[in-house]
Amino acid sequence: MMWQVFSFMDNVQTDQYEALLADKTQQIQQQFSSFNIPELQVFASEPQHFRLRAEFKIWHEGERCFHAMFERGTKNKPIEVTNFPIASKAIANLMPELLQVINQTPILKNRLFQVEYLNTLSGDMLVTLIYHRQLNDEWITEANKLKDKFGIHIIGRAKKLRILLDQDHVIEELEVDGLKLKYKQIEGGFTQPNGKMNQHMLAWARDCVNGSNDFDLLELYCGNGNFSIALADKFRRVFATEISKTSVRAANDNKEMNNIKNVSFAKVSAEEFTAHMSGERLRRRLKDMNLEEANFGTVLVDPPRSGLDEESCKMISSYPNIIYISCNPETLEENLKELCKTHDIKNFALFDQFPYTHHIECGVYLVAK
């Protein structure tokens, strides 16, 4: 392996990107060789300015504060981040300018300990300033000046306090297969950090399910409806579940923004859905979705790093087609051992969501034997 080991991004060598991606490709090919996978589809990231989310501790030293990251395992040896080439250009450009103003404004600087940036391909920007003190009207006045100066949204946070100067979200606009899609991305909610790679993933999933219009789609772990919204026109109906109340609320907003009528979201976990479908424990939210009328041709899962539990894995193996989006090759490998008892792997993709790290995102499309 040629992994570049680092805990901050000042010295990213973008000329190493192709070699690092080749290492990931080789790792996946070797790890899944026993599954007789088809030719691996590899989707490369932009080498720079690909990340739309960034979080930094703020370190105070003398009369100034700065963005800081730390060597792994240390908390008191800050490394000042003066250049962050993996961030979107908007974040990278805003970081020094924002801190310059904050350093000149005592009420904004006082006990500030973290800054979080959330950007979109469409240019929307939300900045969250987190403090070890309570915020008052004077802070609101200066924060509004900051918001107006940079044309951004700002949230102030402290213990048991959250101040919205205008809104708690940004609106992303993606183009996938000629479709223009809008997504509300809420502060603190999960979003795909690499926007262009997300477009590749959505287009890949759409290509997998061509010809599915007479069937329904079941999606588990749907988040803010990222895949549900993009795949809606490929199916008769889409039934999607998610445990996060915030994400389900955003998913329903996204459904309305995109004028989609054939998608239904329910706040239940994958385990609860599995128990409902087996008749072990019925959930009212699912009873209201008329699942008995569904004709599921495809199930899509995008589980956390822990992968699918045993019962959920058995449950999805009953569907003709499976799209499995994975952020952890180890748990994907374990789940495929079960799924490949009933299904064959038709497509296998590597999406380089996180360049210069060991993290690997995969997509697998399986069809029943």
Residue recorded with tokens 């690909």: 50
| Number of neighbours of residue 26 by Cβ within 10 angstroms | 12
pTM of the model: 0.91
pLDDT tier for residue 7 given thresholds of 50, 70 and 90: very low
Residue recorded with tokens 């609860």: 272
Between 274 and 267, the more confident residue is: 267
- Of the listed ranges 7-11, 35-39, 120-124, 159-163, the least confidently predicted one is 7-11
Residue 99 scores a pLDDT above 60: yes
pLDDT tier for residue 311 given thresholds of 50, 70 and 90: confident
Q: What is the mean pLDDT of the chain?
A: 91
- Of the listed ranges 149-158, 214-223, 266-275, the least confidently predicted one is 266-275
Contact 289, 239 (CB under 8 A): yes
pLDDT of residue 214: 87
Distance CA 111, CA 350 (A): 42
Distance CA 126, CA 40 (A): 36
Q: Give me the CATH code for the 14-48+172-368 domain, please.
A: 3.40.50.150
pLDDT of residue 71: 78
Residue 327 appears among annotated catalytic residues: yes
> What are the start and end residues of each CATH 2.40.50.1070 domain in the chain?
53-169
Positive/negative CA dihedral, 179, 120, 243, 267: negative
pLDDT of residue 26: 97
pLDDT in tens, 326-351: 999 999 999 999 999 999 999 999 99
pLDDT of residue 3: 32
First-to-last alpha carbon distance for the chain, in angstroms, is 36
Mean pLDDT along residues 219-244: 94
DSSP sequence for 311-360: HHHHHHTTSSEEEEEES-HHHHHHHHHHHTTTEEEEEEEEE-SSTTSS--
pLDDT of residue 4: 33
pLDDT of residue 75: 78
Residue 18 appears among annotated catalytic residues: no
For residue 219 the two structure tokens come to 């999606």
Residue 2 scores a pLDDT above 70: no
Mean pLDDT along residues 244-256: 94
Residue recorded with tokens 């992994």: 3
Contact 332, 352 (CB under 8 A): no
Phi first, then psi, for residue 2 (nearest 5°) are -110, 25
DSSP sequence for 149-174: HHT-EEEEEETTEEEESS-SEEEEEE
Residue 1 scores a pLDDT above 80: no
219, 313, 361, 362: which one is catalytic? 361
Mean pLDDT along residues 178-194: 93
Residue 270 scores a pLDDT above 80: no
Residue 273 scores a pLDDT above 70: yes
Residue 40 scores a pLDDT above 50: yes
Mean pLDDT along residues 210-223: 90
Residue 208 scores a pLDDT above 90: yes
Share of the chain above pLDDT 70, in %: 96
Positive/negative CA dihedral, 231, 236, 240, 246: positive
pLDDT of residue 291: 74
Contact 346, 207 (CB under 8 A): no
- Quick check: helix, strand or coil at residue 245? helix
- Quick check: helix, strand or coil at residue 301? strand
Residue 218 scores a pLDDT above 90: yes
Order of strands, sheet of 343-351, starting from the edge strand that comes earlier in the sequence: 41-43, 343-351, 361-368, 321-326, 296-301, 216-220, 237-241, 263-266
* Eight-class DSSP state of 40: P
User: For the chain, what is the largest distance between any 2 Cα atoms, rounded to a whole number of angstroms?
Assistant: 67
pLDDT of residue 139: 98
> What are the start and end residues of each CATH 3.40.50.150 domain in the chain?
14-48+172-368
pLDDT of residue 359: 94
Distance CA 73, CA 21 (A): 27
pLDDT of residue 14: 77
Residue 6 scores a pLDDT above 70: no
pLDDT tier for residue 43 given thresholds of 50, 70 and 90: very high
| Number of neighbours of residue 9 by Cβ within 10 angstroms | 16
292, 327, 330, 334: which one is catalytic? 327
Contact 283, 218 (CB under 8 A): no
Residue recorded with tokens 């981040």: 81
pLDDT in tens, 116-158: 999 999 999 999 999 999 999 999 999 999 999 999 999 999 9
pLDDT of residue 38: 95
Mean pLDDT along residues 184-190: 91
The counts of H helices and E strands in the chain are 11, 17
Distance CA 42, CA 355 (A): 13
Residue recorded with tokens 């501790």: 57
- Quick check: helix, strand or coil at residue 51? strand
Residue recorded with tokens 């996180």: 354
Domain 53-169, CATH number (from 3.30.70.370, 2.40.50.1070, 2.60.40.290, 3.10.20.740): 2.40.50.1070
pLDDT tier for residue 11 given thresholds of 50, 70 and 90: low
CA-to-CA dists, residue 32 to 40, 42, 352, angstroms: 10, 15, 17
